[in-house]
Chains A and B, each alone.
Chain A
Amino acid sequence: MRLLVVEDDPILLRQLRERLGTEGYAVDAAIDGTEAAFLGSNEPYDAIVLDLGLPRRDGLSVLRSWREEGLSIPVLILTARDHWHDKVLGIDAGADDYLAKPFHMEELLARLRALIRRARGHASSELRAGPVVLDTRTGTVTTDGQPLDLTGYEFRVLSYLMHHAGEVVSRTELTEHVYAQDFDRDSNTIEVFIGRLRKKLGGDLIKTVRGLGYRLEIPPDDAP
């Protein structure tokens, strides 16, 4: 899962990046409104954490322009403006959630997980594909109840595939959602991660669709 964090306070931004990174997210950062607007419009994020009081361009106007462009990425507003009037403005501008500073990091993480899950239409915090269960709250993966030890990138690839279970996900798409923007990307490494995941998960849960990409199969008994 790849996130955009828009925050102009450098220390808070560093804290957010560190913590979100350890939770398995690829994190891009923007420190002003113009940069945020550009990145949000051009990069395929899974969620955006947006501050409102930004230099150069106000967060609300950035959010409105995204929604006018038809961008449906879930946006969580994280701001010190905690009046209900600001919340109304934020939600009406198209935000999906609103969290006021100072905040508990755990609450931010919980709300982000819920946002991403809801955006994909998943009601439960546990994603399931056959024997494999991914608990988005704890960030753990189990097969047949046995915990699985995954590296950060392996987790990101699996998490993205499970959020989009049953759909064909191209290698480019995976690359874009697994790496942060400033990372030196190489789509061949995705193949390496897929290979390792297949080995760890066993079975043939991850199918290769020739010329298109990969698909995480939902075994028939799990289909809704």
Chain B
Amino acid sequence: MTPPVGSLRLRLLLGAAVWILLALVIAGLVLAELFARHVQDRFAVELGHHLDQLASSLRIDAEGKPDLVRPLPDPRFSRPLSGLYWQVSANGRVVLRSRSLWDQTLALPADASAEDGRVRQWRIAGPERQPLYGLERSLLLPEGPESLQVVVAEDLGELDAAFRAFNRTLALSLAALAVVLTVAAVVQVTLGLRPLGWLRDELAEIRSGRKRRFQRPMPSEVQPLIDDLNALLDHADEVVERGRLQAGNLAHGLKTNLAVLANEAERLARPDAQREDAEMARLVLSQVATMRRHIDHHMARARAAASRGLPGTGTDVADCVSALVRVLQKVHASRNLAIRAEVPAGLTFAGDRQDLEEMLGNLLDNACKWAKGAVAVMAVRESKQLIVSVEDDGVGLSSEVFERALSPGTRLDESVPGTGLGLGVVRDLVTSYGGKLVFAPSSESGGLRASLHLPALS
């Protein structure tokens, strides 16, 4: 068992899908991260400005309390719970705060009051427990007695909203891009694999006999395969042809010798011969006949086996019939038979020409031997079947004789020349094509009608 290899198309598409997905996910993550960083930086810079502004606006008033020289310009500081807050505390006590904080204070972490003047960042809880991003520094005003802790904080919620909006847009764009890329991949794979489709079409044509070889030029990746396939077809033809030739040579060699033996025996069997000689001659003649039957039978079987399933075989019936009629008119010239052929043009037998000639030739030959004056051959197509009928106007056969007609080597009438083998050969060939041979009385002439049912080609 070979492991399933699946579909080439599916493989390519899955590969493309994996890459597209991976690339887009990475791109999305990187973009989202870059955006977040950028926005956070902007956020921090802006908050830093607010802190600087607050620090530079602070003074100690006449009562020794911290106060603002002027209110901070951003209106959000004055709108309650706007999300932007500031607060000034001294010794952990809140001494000044923005209006936006209303009655709340920003709770700073415990160690938030180091006095080094450095700006520090915190995440702290806001008035409504929402997360805030805060900047904090210590400040010692020249006129003040103690250091002040200055905090500016902004609601991170807005930042999150911006992220969410950006990420949604990003995700939608990337999804659209994924769809476009997938469609492009499908188109690419389809176009790329099209030569395989051509290959299949051509193979179908070869199987059905419309073509002998692959002829269509193919891409350089497929062409070597085509060349190999053509070479294989050549080889198959060659093997079959060589096999036929050798079997034929053997048969021909033997038949010439059989002819010599038969002639010698016939000479022995002349009326004035001795009794032993005559018996000997009869024995030799019957053995010669048997040997000939064997040769013919096995030749036909070899032929049938060799041609079965061989690609590239299709035979024009009309052409074949007219060739056979030419032969029969010569071979049976002395009988002055009218041989009528009704075969529509374009009818094609799905098999080897020589096989069809063999089957039809034997049936026609029999018909010519039996006919009184007329033989007809007709061919029709019924769905996928080709039906070729051969009729004669002879005496016809009884049903019991029909049966016997099909057993190998049976002669229907010893007085008609011919060995009766013909039908055995026909039967073997018909069987090898999955067809059948049917005998029936001829409706027109009352003689015999033999019909071959064979596979047809569209």
Taking beta carbons and an 8 Å cutoff, which residues of A are in contact with B?
9, 11-12, 15, 19, 53, 79-85, 87-88, 90-92, 95-98, 100-105, 107, 114, 118
Contacts and interface: CB of A to CB of B under 8 A. Distances in A.
A9 B252 CA distance: 12
A95 B248 contact: no
A15 B260 contact: yes
Given A12-B259, A114-B334, A98 B327 contact: yes
Contact of A97 (B259, B296, B331): B331
Given A12-B259, A15-B263, A88-B324, A104 B331 contact: no
B340 to A, nearest CB: 19
Contacts of A9: 256-257, 260
Interface of B: 248, 251-264, 266-267, 288, 292, 296, 323-324, 326-327, 330-331, 333-334, 353-354, 357-358, 360-362, 417
A107 B417 contact: yes
A80 B324 contact: no
B283 to A, nearest CB: 15
Contacts, number: 90
A62 to B, nearest CB: 17
A102 B255 contact: yes
A46 B257 CA distance: 27
Contact of B252 (A15, A53, A96): A53
Contacts of A104: 262, 266, 417
A100 B362 CA distance: 13
Given A85-B353, A88-B326, A92-B326, A101 B255 contact: yes
A87 B259 contact: no
A80 B252 contact: yes
Contacts of A80: 251-256, 259
Contacts of B251: 80
Nearest to B356: A84
Nearest to B358: A84
A103 B258 CA distance: 9
A84 B263 contact: no
A139 to B, nearest CB: 16
A102 B291 CA distance: 10
Contacts of A101: 255-256, 258-259
B258 A87 contact: no
B264 A15 contact: yes
Contacts of A81: 248, 252
A104 B415 CA distance: 13
Nearest 3 A/B pairs, CB to CB: A84-B361, A80-B252, A80-B255
B286 to A, nearest CB: 13
B330 A97 contact: yes
A105 B358 contact: no
Contacts of A79: 252
Contacts of B331: 87, 91, 97-98
A145 B326 CA distance: 40
A87 B325 CA distance: 11
B431 to A, nearest CB: 18
Contact of B259 (A83, A85, A103): A103
